[in-house]
Amino acid sequence: MLAIGSDHGGYELRQIIMKHLAERGIEYRDFGTFSAESCDYPDYGEAVGRAVASGECERGIVVCGTGIGISIAANKVRGIRCALCGDCYSAEMARAHNNANMLALGARVLGEGLALKIVDTFLDTGFEGGRHARRVAKIMAIEGRD
Ligand code: RB5
């Protein structure tokens, strides 16, 4: 199960991503926003982040205008590793090396075709583990030193 959310800036791209997920037979839970009216991206970054951190959803995708604000918000949730990606190589490495559990996209930055390729890359790439597991564990240990 995937969690997905966006602010108004990511509303349209989120609809396109949800259609794509449905076509791929991937189940998702939609955290809104539910109209194109102006709203605040931290609310959606946090909601999707909490769904992933709690284990209710395995991974999350969030979208705002640039992807920056919503990724920063999601990364404030304990347990979240949210990667803002603008290319497929970064999406692949975010999974293979960083074991990212969330993907952030910038709707005002990316074309629809590239955005969907990035989504597919993120969903279809596994974590390599090994030396990367040690590094990811070091990232997560930072949370314990707060
Ligand atoms: C909303 O106008 C915009 O600031 C937001 O979607 C996002 O780009 C923030 O980082």
CATH number corresponding to 2-143:
3.40.1400.10
- The rounded distance, in Å, linking the Cα atoms of 100 and 136 is 9
- The rounded distance, in Å, linking the Cα atoms of 79 and 100 is 10
Alpha helix stretches (DSSP H) within 81-130: 88-96, 112-124
- Gap from CA of 96 to ligand 1 centroid (Å): 28
How confident is residue 9, by pLDDT bands cut at 50, 70 and 90?
very high
Condensed to tens digits (0 to 9), the pLDDT of residues 121-144 reads: 999 999 999 999 999 999 999 998
Catalytic, out of 57, 64, 82, 85: 64
Query: Percent of the chain, pLDDT > 70?
Result: 100
Domain residue ranges of the chain, discontinuous segments joined by + = 2-143
The answer, yes or no, to whether residue 31 has pLDDT greater than 90, is yes
Sequence-distant (6+) residues with CB within 8 A of 55 are: none
At 115, list the tokens.
């955005």
- Ligand 1 atom with the shortest distance to the CA of 9: 6
Whether residue 121 is preceded by a cis peptide bond, meaning omega within 30 degrees of 0, is: no
Q: How many residues in total does the chain contain? A: 146
- Gap from CA of 109 to ligand 1 centroid (Å): 11
Sequence-distant (6+) residues with CB within 8 A of 67 are: 10, 84, 85, 86, 104, 105, 106, 107, 109
